[in-house]
Amino acid sequence: MMRVVPEAGDMTKVALKARAYLPSSGVQSNSDIASVSYADGTLIVLIACSREQNDVSGLKITFPDVDGFRLLDEVDLVRYWNSSDFPCGSHLLEVLTGSWGMEENTLQGFEHTRREWLVVTGNACLSAFCQAEPELAEATWKFQV
């Protein structure tokens, strides 16, 4: 059986369609993913949203039973930001079509759908495959040099 693999140029035409999972409070250009930890199928992402002297405020997002994840600089995802259906201003999006899940399904010849989430900051971004809704909590910590 032969599979047709799309030309590299076809991936540049990917249009991301997503919905904001969190209210659009704005994503600051200096926000960033402070840490990522993965153990026993659970992925925990800590986002630094603001800093006042040594106090950092942010968000803790826990993905239970994650199937896969990737971390990229926001510049590597510019083709998604340029999509007309990209909701700006939210740190967490649920991807409806397009993005990494569609790319992997196309490249691997899969036909199943994946539930995909996109964590957005002013610096790094993270995509995660997780069927369950993520758990959200506010987080604060001391800045360490």
In the prediction, which pLDDT does 81 show? 63
Angstrom distance (rounded) from CA 94 to CA 128: 10
Supply the pTM of this predicted model. 0.79
In the prediction, which pLDDT does 135 show? 97
Query: Closest Cα partner for 138 from 59, 80, 70?
Result: 59
Residue 79, pLDDT above cutoff 50: yes
Whole-number Cα distances in Å, 51 to 56, 121, 125, 143 = 4, 14, 19, 8
Beta pairing partners, 62: 44, 135
Angstrom distance (rounded) from CA 120 to CA 31: 9
Residue 8, helix vs strand vs coil: helix
Residues for the chain: how many in total?
A: 145
Q: For 11-39, give the secondary structure using H, E and C.
A: HCCCCCEEEECCCCCCCCCCCEEEEEEEE
pLDDT band at 1 (very low <50, low <70, confident <90, very high): very low
